[in-house]
């Protein structure tokens, strides 16, 4: 289940699992749901060296702590609420992770911007 913004075939923001994602700035924002410690979608692509805003929607009745290994961030998402973090993607193309309470993992693949068609995030 991948999500992304801006595919090479046009249009920004689409989830490969057929669900719809929420966006206000289609080139730079992705919304990820957390339910029972798991992310939906569980992967996305983002342009290397670019800023991207990750919005986490907590569907559970307990707080979750989300940590990224690439931007050294920690986000506390209260039960039933939404929290976001704007991060700068690494310059090195690679797959990075965001973890939820040591349970669920969101794979974030940093892809060269020229491969992404000029967008910050892309469909897988």
Q: Mean pLDDT of all residues in the chain?
A: 78
Q: Which CATH class is domain 2-122?
A: mainly beta
* C-alpha span between 35 and 25 (Å, rounded): 24
Q: Which of 13, 54, 14 is nearest to 34 (CA)?
A: 54
Query: What confidence score (pLDDT) does residue 117 get?
Result: 60
- Summarize pLDDT for 90-101 with one digit per residue, the tens: 999 999 999 998
Strand order in the sheet with 29-35: 38-40, 29-35, 51-58, 82-88
Query: What confidence score (pLDDT) does residue 11 get?
Result: 26
- Summarize pLDDT for 5-35 with one digit per residue, the tens: 333 222 223 333 434 443 345 567 899 999 9
Query: What confidence score (pLDDT) does residue 31 get?
Result: 94
On the 0-12 / 13-18 / 19+ scale of CB atoms within 10 A, 107 is middle
The whole-number average pLDDT for the span 73-85 is 95
pTM (2 d.p.): 0.75
Q: Which of 74, 5, 81 is nearest to 41 (CA)?
A: 5
Q: Is the pLDDT of residue 78 over 90?
A: yes
Query: What confidence score (pLDDT) does residue 121 get?
Result: 53
Query: What confidence score (pLDDT) does residue 71 get?
Result: 85
């Amino acid at each position: 289940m991948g999500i992304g913004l801006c595919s090479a075939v046009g249009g920004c923001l689409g989830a490969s699992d057929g669900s719809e994602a929420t966006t206000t700035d289609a080139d730079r924002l992705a919304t990820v749901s957390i339910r029972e410690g798991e992310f939906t979608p569980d992967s996305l692509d983002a342009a290397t060296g670019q800023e991207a805003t990750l919005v986490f929607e907590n569907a559970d009745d307990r707080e979750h702590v989300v940590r990224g290994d690439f931007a050294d961030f920690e986000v506390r998402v209260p039960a039933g609420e939404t929290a976001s973090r704007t991060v700068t993607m690494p310059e090195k193309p690679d797959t990075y992770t965001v973890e939820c309470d040591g349970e669920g993992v969101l794979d974030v693949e940093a892809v060269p911007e020229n491969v992404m068609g000029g967008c910050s995030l892309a469909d897988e």
